Amino acid sequence: MSEASDPRRLLPYRSVWPLAGGVLLGLLLRLAFNGSPDKIWGHRLEALYAMTGSFIYLAPFAVGALTAWLAERRQRQGLGRHFVAGMAANALLVLVTLLVELEGLICAILVLPLFAVLGGLGAVSMALVCRVLRRSSAPMAALAVLPLLTAGLEEPLELPDRFGVVEHETLIDASPAEVWAQLLDTPAIRPEEMADGWIYRIGVPLPYFGRTERLGARLVRHVEMGKGIRFDQVSTEWAEPRTVRWTYRFGPDAFPPGALDDHVRIGGRHFDLMDTLYTLEPLGGQTRLRVAMHYRVSTRFNWYAEPLARALMGNFETVALRLYAARAEAGASATRPVAPPRSPSQEAS
């Protein structure tokens, strides 16, 4: 095999073992943090689940650190090479957890950039420590167990909440009544109508339909999505055809196992939709449709999670508004009277 075709040239180090060691440590930590806050494990072990700050911050850092430590024991490497190796080890770790179904596609995609950067920083930090302490194993041993030690300290602390709102609007060539009808009843949604939704391409199931019924003074909209997801939107205020505010009602069977990653499940400990307000404003023969979606994010890393939630909700809103607009405009075109052809005498005049 020629040097140019040697696959090892694509690796940050000449050997694969530092990367393999880093991935193995990360996998062991992920298995240790495989609990759920919804399960009764006992006081201490409740803290060992993957959405803790101890795991999110320290595990990828330790993976990068071990990768660099193993490489430095063989031969000193440049800091840039260590940073790339720490990123690569964490990217491989995320891929492995996805393949063995420890992680879902949505979480894997969203967490990868953060893990990669923290892994690079961990690798560079450990390389510098090795050069000062002459490759001592004590710092690496301490760092490998640090996520487990800090998880117990983190458990009694309340999760910080961050509330946000995403707002969009569009101008629709249809009357408010025609747009209102689409907001309440959206049958047989086709996949091509959701083609612009990258939120669905990363694993969120496609919506199938929305159907509204009036129960007393309230409107209740029944929504069904792929993978058996079912929930209701309940109106807290509405005035036909001008405005409606939906809150969300999730029953115990709203999200079947595996339908959504538990870490991003709507109505769960870390993410929730508070309400969605639609406002319709008539403008001549058109309608300005505005939507404001309020949400909550509760993590130890809200600075990272909240912008992701905003991007996800923003993409969802954009695609939904396009769907309502396209269907309302198609319905309006079908019901508009067709003008009779003009006679030659009328054209001459």
Q: Which domains does the chain have, with CATH numbers?
A: 10-154 (no CATH), 161-334 (3.30.530.20)
- Supply the pLDDT for residue 182: 96
Task: Say how far apart CA 287 and CA 281 lie, in whole Å.
Answer: 5
Convert the pLDDT of each residue in 231-247 to its tens digit. 999 999 999 999 999 99
Lowest-confidence region among 41-45, 48-52, 197-201, 273-277: 41-45
Nearest 5°: the CA angle 161, 162, 168 is 145
- Supply the pLDDT for residue 134: 72
Type of residue numbered 207: P
Confidence of residue 264 (pLDDT cuts 50, 70, 90): confident
Determine the average pLDDT of the residues in 5-24: 75
Confidence of residue 34 (pLDDT cuts 50, 70, 90): confident
Convert the pLDDT of each residue in 208-228 to its tens digit. 999 999 998 999 999 999 999
* Region label for 198, one of left (φ > 0), alpha (ψ between -120 and 50) or beta (otherwise): alpha
- Supply the pLDDT for residue 5: 47
Confidence of residue 9 (pLDDT cuts 50, 70, 90): low
Average pLDDT score, the chain: 88
Full DSSP string of 113-125 = HHHHHHHHHHHHH
115: pLDDT strictly greater than 70: yes
> In this structure, how many other beta carbons lie within 10 angstroms of the beta carbon of residue 94?
23
39: pLDDT strictly greater than 80: no
- Supply the pLDDT for residue 342: 58
Determine the average pLDDT of the residues in 189-216: 93
Task: Say how far apart CA 118 and CA 30 lie, in whole Å.
Answer: 16
- Report yes or no: 33 and 52 within 8 Å, Cβ to Cβ: yes
Type of residue numbered 220: V
Extended beta strands in the chain, E state:
161-172, 207-215, 218-225, 230-239, 243-249, 271-283, 286-298
Indicate if the alpha-carbon torsion angle 138, 139, 143, 149 is positive or negative: positive
Convert the pLDDT of each residue in 290-312 to its tens digit. 999 999 999 999 999 999 999 99
Token digits for 183? Answer: 């907001």
Q: How far is CA 51 from the centre of its chain?
A: 13
Q: Return the CA Rg of the chain.
A: 27
- Supply the pLDDT for residue 194: 93
Determine the average pLDDT of the residues in 320-335: 88
Task: Say how far apart CA 169 and CA 322 lie, in whole Å.
Answer: 10
Task: Say how far apart CA 85 and CA 297 lie, in whole Å.
Answer: 32
pTM above 0.75, yes or no: yes
Determine the average pLDDT of the residues in 74-96: 92
- Supply the pLDDT for residue 3: 42
38: pLDDT strictly greater than 80: no
92: pLDDT strictly greater than 70: yes
Strand order of the β-sheet with 230-239 is 161-172, 286-298, 271-283, 243-249, 230-239, 218-225, 207-215
Cβ burial, residue 10 (10 Å; 0-12/13-18/19+): exposed
If one compares 158 and 40, the residue with the highest pLDDT of the two is 158
Share above pLDDT 90 across residues of the chain, in percent, rounded to a whole number: 66
Confidence of residue 263 (pLDDT cuts 50, 70, 90): confident
- Report yes or no: 199 and 207 within 8 Å, Cβ to Cβ: no
Convert the pLDDT of each residue in 68-81 to its tens digit. 999 988 888 889 99
